[in-house]
Amino acid sequence: MAKLKHLPVCSLLLAVLLLALSSFSAGGNSSVSASAGPLYGIEFPPYNTAVADAGCDGRLVAEEAELARRAPSLKLNMTRRSADTAGTGSLVLDSAKKDAARIGTMHGRRAAPSGAARRKGSRPRRALSERVVATVASGVAVGSGEYLVDVYVGTPPRRFRMIMDTGSDLNWLQCAPCLDCFHQTGPVFDPAASTSYRNVTCGDSRCGLVSPPESPAASTGRKCRKPRSDPCPYYYWYGDQSNTTGDLALEAFTVNLTGAAAGSTRRVDGVAFGCGHRNRGLFHGAAGLLGLGRGPLSFASQLRGVYGGHAFSYCLVEHGSAAGSKIIFGHDDALLAHPRLNYTAFAPAAADTFYYVQLKSVLVGGEAVNVPSDTWGGAKDGSGGTIIDSGTTLSYFPEPAYRAIRQAFIDRMSPSYPLIAGFPVLSPCYNVSGAGKIEVPELALVFADGAAWEFPAENYFIRLEPEGVMCLAVLGTPRSGMSIIGNYQQQNFHVLYDLERNRLGFAPRRCAEV
Task: Out of 204, 247, 389, 498, pick the active-site residue.
Answer: 389
CA 202 to each of CA 225, 314, 317, 446: distance values in angstroms, whole numbers, following the listed order: 9, 35, 41, 46
Contact 93, 16 (CB under 8 A): yes
Rounded Cα distance, 90 and 285, in Å: 15
Rounded to the nearest 5 degrees, what angle is found at the Cα of 300, between the Cα atoms of 299 and 304?
Answer: 115
Kindly write down the DSSP assignment for every residue of 341-400, as one continuous string: -EEEEBPP-SSSSS-EE-EEEEEETTEE----GGGS--TTTTS-EEEE-TT--SEEEEHH
Terminal-to-terminal C-alpha distance of the chain: 36
73, burial (CB in 10 Å: exposed 0-12, middle 13-18, buried 19+):
buried
Q: Residue 160: how many CA atoms within 13 Å on its side-chain side?
A: 26
Task: Out of 150, 165, 169, 204, pick the active-site residue.
Answer: 165
Q: Pairing mode, if any, of strands 172-174 and 265-280?
A: parallel
CA 255 to each of CA 131, 152, 160, 295, 313: distance values in angstroms, whole numbers, following the listed order: 9, 7, 12, 21, 16
* Residue 164, strand partner residues: 290
**Bond preceding residue 156 cis, omega within 30 of 0:** yes
Instruction: With CA atoms as reference, report the closest residue to 447 among 391, 365, 487, 388.
Output: 388
Q: Is 165 part of the annotated catalytic residue set?
A: yes
Instruction: With CA atoms as reference, report the closest residue to 316 among 299, 328, 300.
Output: 328
Instruction: With CA atoms as reference, report the closest residue to 506 among 386, 347, 335.
Output: 335
How many of the other CB atoms lie within 10 Å of CB of 251?
23
Q: Pairing mode, if any, of strands 242-258 and 147-153?
A: antiparallel
How many of the other CB atoms lie within 10 Å of CB of 412?
18
CA 401 to each of CA 94, 257, 360, 459, 480: distance values in angstroms, whole numbers, following the listed order: 24, 44, 11, 19, 12
Rounded Cα distance, 26 and 131, in Å: 52
Which residues are tagged catalytic? 165, 389
